[in-house]
Chain A
Amino acid sequence: MGRAITGASHPVVLYVSGGNTQVIAYAEQRYRIFGEALDIAVGNCLDRFARTIEISNDPAPGYNIEQLAKRGGRVLLDLPYAVKGMDCSFSGILTRADELAAHMKNGGKGPDGEPITPADLCFSLQETVFAMLVEITERAMAHVGSSQVLIVGGVGCNERLQEMMGAMAADRGGSVYATDERFCIDNGIMIAHAGLLAYETGFHTPIQESTCTQRFRTDEVLVKWRK
């Protein structure tokens, strides 16, 4: 669906949401997973941190972190940076960010001697985890020789992530494709679109036999509708 909306032809896909963090590229009838989060998903990391520093869930915790981060930037707080090949890990970062939040509540100061603010924390967290995501995406792009990148999933709405990805893609002579919140967070339309494509290639399931499963891996689907 991302390809249909954005017109990207053969992109490396960064799929980032509350439940999944995967770098995916299509090869020989399947979407193959090149890298993924080894523990919690990036969206989960951001959501849980939002709870730690008690920011609103309205309209979404990730959105509110993004808005707060725009007011940060004065300092970059040191957080772990955990990339292993094309995989990454977020739980250690969350732990450290939570510790820094507790430090802030006790009136802790940053490297410049000024008190740490929620904006500093949100800024540092975003800069660190997004740098990791862009890095693993870049590594996958170099690996498969693609210069296009498509961002999908709820975290893909984040404009700072899109901006960083854009800078990376431009550096590689490529371009970034992203959708907005109308598509990024609507699982129904994604499933419907994939179902339609499958239907058109002769994959039919009678309604009585239809079930749903949450445990469906990206690379389990045989993709007949792409060359």
Chain B
Amino acid sequence: MTTTNTTTTTQFPPPKVLTYPSSTPPILITQGAEGRLYKTTYLSPSIPCALKYRPPKPYRHPILDARLTKARLSAEAKVLERCWREGIPVPAVYAVDTSAGWMAIEWIDGPPVRAGINEWLGDPPEVEQDGGHQQDKKKENADEDEGEAPMVDLMRRIGLAVGRLHNLAGVVHGDLTTSNMMLRPPLDGGDAAQGKAGKALEGEVVLIDFGLATQSQSDEDRAVDLYVLERAFLSTHPRAERLFGEVLEAYRGSFKKAASVLVKLEDVRMRGRKKSMIG
């Protein structure tokens, strides 16, 4: 038996597949909303892999829980396979067991986009007693210089990646956030860029966590996908709010039907707002 080397204070029982004597000792990477992510190896000790495990949710009715876990894992595996075939940067699928609730996929190096953006933004500004608006203005002025070019570039890469996902794979992600995108460092190590301001934002944008993804070509679903991203982005990185437009612009240019998705996005925004303003 191997022991679980967890990075959190609570010990969670790992899925059975990780307890076989032949498996590399797993490291619990995160306890996300959907489940746990372990780092281990697949087949050979030299091939790192991510093992996604969806444990039973104690709060959920067992029938509903089993139904959701099975449906989501198998949908996720199918979608990843499809994206991978179309050349969209996503982790490759190695193995799936829907009834045991796990899936082994390619290990993606690099920080999440969220961490990269936060590093680039730096610490939050000290809040003055007379309110945040003035503060926002100062920050905006400071951002006007060419220093934000790497950020604009990252925004465009994100828009492009989402556009390709929607268009080439015919997939909507369902949970686009800056935590669900990784920045895979370039193979050469990116030494040339050492010390440059935009270092934190370098790398290939790899989409991960397709747990809520579906195959859909409809403008409505695509628009909701963008809406989810927009809202997650604005609430996670309020100080980079201005730059989010770059994501949508790059998306617009990424395929022919993108323009009509963006028109639909207006509808979705209005709907979301209108409903929440009532009493």
Q: Which residues of A contact B (CB under 8 A)?
A: 18-22, 25, 27-30, 32-41, 76, 81, 83-87, 127-128, 131, 134-135, 138-139, 141-144, 163-168, 170-173, 214-218, 222, 224, 227
Rounded to whole angstroms, the CA-CA distance of A168 and B272 in the bound complex is: 27
User: B224–A84 contact, CB under 8 A?
Assistant: yes
22 residue pairs from A and B, CB less than 8 Å apart: A27-B238, A36-B275, A38-B224, A39-B275, A40-B275, A81-B68, A83-B212, A86-B231, A87-B228, A127-B64, A131-B57, A131-B59, A138-B33, A144-B236, A163-B59, A168-B57, A168-B59, A170-B58, A173-B10, A217-B277, A222-B133, A227-B127
Interface size class of B (residues with CB under 8 A): 35 or more
B16: Cβ under 8 A from any A Cβ: no
A222 contacts which chain B residues (CB < 8 A)?
131-133
A171 contacts which chain B residues (CB < 8 A)?
57-59
Rounded to whole angstroms, the CA-CA distance of A170 and B33 in the bound complex is: 13
User: A172–B31 contact, CB under 8 A?
Assistant: yes
Q: Which residues of B contact A (CB under 8 A)?
A: 8-10, 30-34, 57-61, 63-64, 68, 124, 127, 129, 131-133, 174-177, 179, 212, 224, 227-228, 231-232, 234-236, 238-239, 268, 271-273, 275-279
User: B31–A142 contact, CB under 8 A?
Assistant: yes
A163 contacts which chain B residues (CB < 8 A)?
59
A198 to chain B, nearest CB (A): 12
A25 contacts which chain B residues (CB < 8 A)?
235
Rounded to whole angstroms, the CA-CA distance of A32 and B239 in the bound complex is: 13
User: A85–B235 contact, CB under 8 A?
Assistant: no
Closest-by-CB residue of B relative to A213 is B277
A120 to chain B, nearest CB (A): 12
Interface of A is mostly: mixed
A141 contacts which chain B residues (CB < 8 A)?
33
A217/B273 contact (C-beta < 8 A), A28-B238, A32-B238, A84-B228 known: yes
Q: Which of B59, B224, B271 has the most CB of A within 10 A?
A: B59
A35 contacts which chain B residues (CB < 8 A)?
231
Partner of B64, one of A19, A32, A33, A81: A81
User: A142–B224 contact, CB under 8 A?
Assistant: no
Rounded to whole angstroms, the CA-CA distance of A131 and B131 in the bound complex is: 38
Partner of A19, one of B59, B176, B279: B279
A22/B276 contact (C-beta < 8 A), A29-B127, A83-B212 known: yes
A131 contacts which chain B residues (CB < 8 A)?
57, 59-61, 64
A142 contacts which chain B residues (CB < 8 A)?
30-33
Closest-by-CB residue of B relative to A36 is B276
Closest-by-CB residue of A relative to B34 is A139
A28/B132 contact (C-beta < 8 A), A33-B276, A36-B276, A85-B175 known: yes
A168 contacts which chain B residues (CB < 8 A)?
57-59
B129 contacts which chain A residues (CB < 8 A)?
224
User: A19–B33 contact, CB under 8 A?
Assistant: no
User: A143–B238 contact, CB under 8 A?
Assistant: no
A37 contacts which chain B residues (CB < 8 A)?
275-276
